[in-house]
Amino acid sequence: MKLMETMCEKGHEKVLFVNNEKAGLKAIIAVHNTVRGPAIGGCRLYPYASEEDALFDVLRLSRGMSHKNAAAGLDFGGGKGVIIADPSQKTEAMFEAFGEAVNALGGCYITAEDVNTDCNDAIIMTRKTKYVCGLPAVSGDPSPFTALGVWQGIKATAKVAFGSDSLKGLKIAVQGVGKVGYDLCRHLHSEGAELYIANRKNMAILDKAVEEFGAKIVPADKILSQECDILAPCAMGAIVNPDTIPNFNCKAIAGAANNVILDLASGQALKDRGIYYAPDFIINAGGVINAAGEAAGNYNEEEVLKKVYNIYNTVERILTESKETGRPEGVIAEEFAENCIYGR
């Protein structure tokens, strides 16, 4: 009953629990909304501490995908898949089984790669289902498009917060330097930003960023309180919460991570501190824009790039309205997305 209440509260249409012992698969697929079209959203693999944590994550992420896709002007709804496992446990059988689960939904959910999954995993899924996008032979790795959109969103954030979208000389702290974070650092460095970076794993990529971009490494437990102009979270979500808000030492938060703000109260508290926030599902939509271009058929990279660059305009619009009205950016962004879905 609690699950049904949560689904109704957040507007979810379907939640599928998958337990395939033979394949070593435990997963949850959540379809939030299909008003604009089939739900699209990646498959995340993560060692959740409990099934409850996995459910909480997939429900939040799938709802975020509905808002992300609608706000980006895509003719798709929102969904998400999570596999409960350590990345070291990945097997072909696991992804074949996940593909079977996707196929059982009959096309109302289209999957793709996400955290700890990649194009090779997506290819394995295609053995069991056609409802997969982000394939190397078509649109490929979505990470560069995500990074491109975040870069544009950061420029728009700088314009509203500092009066200019030039990043030259701005101090930007990047939490999480993976595929997206590294490519983002490349864009930021090209405009003369001063970079501070941190990872909890993969220290080698930090050394590479130091060499290539002149970045400065910050301990992972210090990056959120690093003195900077813009904090760019590019790892896991919920980094804006009652514990972290008093310690932020930045003027704005704009990055690639999903579900950056824990809850509405945290969003208001951030606003009360005078810190600008580029809503995550607006600024990080580049990857799904690219994947949706493939899922819609007749993939056209030029059209995809137009939509990715338009992230700049949407972020600027939302932050400007927030600046003028005093309302939290996340609230304004959700209203905008809901209007795109339901036309109200």
Q: How far apart are CA 287 and CA 232, in angstroms?
A: 17
Write out pLDDT tens, residues 315-327: 999 999 999 999 9
Among 140, 156, 134, which residue's Cα sits nearest to residue 310? 156
Which pLDDT score, from 0 to 100, does residue 55 have?
94
Which pLDDT score, from 0 to 100, does residue 6 have?
66
Exposure string for 139-158, b = 16+ CB within 10 A, e = fewer: bbbbbbbbbbbbbbbbbbbb
Write out pLDDT tens, residues 59-103: 989 999 999 999 999 999 999 999 999 999 999 999 999 999 999
Contact of 95 with 254, CB cutoff 8 Å: no
- Mean pLDDT in residue range 118-139: 92
Is 80 labeled as catalytic in the residue annotation?
yes
| Mean of pLDDT over the chain | 94
Q: How far apart are CA 78 and CA 69, in angstroms?
A: 7
Write out pLDDT tens, residues 245-283: 999 999 999 999 988 999 999 999 999 999 999 999 999
Which pLDDT score, from 0 to 100, does residue 4 have?
64
Catalytic residue of the set 68, 80, 90, 271: 80
Among 119, 100, 104, which residue's Cα sits nearest to residue 42? 119
Which pLDDT score, from 0 to 100, does residue 136 have?
86
252-253 sheet: strands from edge to edge: 216-217, 194-198, 171-175, 230-233, 252-253, 276-277
All domains in the chain, ordered by first residue: 2-67+76-125 (3.40.50.10860), 143-342 (3.40.50.720)
Per-residue confidence at 1, pLDDT binned at 50, 70, 90? very low
Per-residue confidence at 7, pLDDT binned at 50, 70, 90? low
Pairing of strands 252-253, 194-198: unpaired
Angle of the 143-162 helix axis to the 179-190 helix axis, nearest 10? 50
The residues, any chain, with a CB within 8 Å of residue 148's CB and separated by 6 or more, are 183, 187, 286, 305, 308, 309
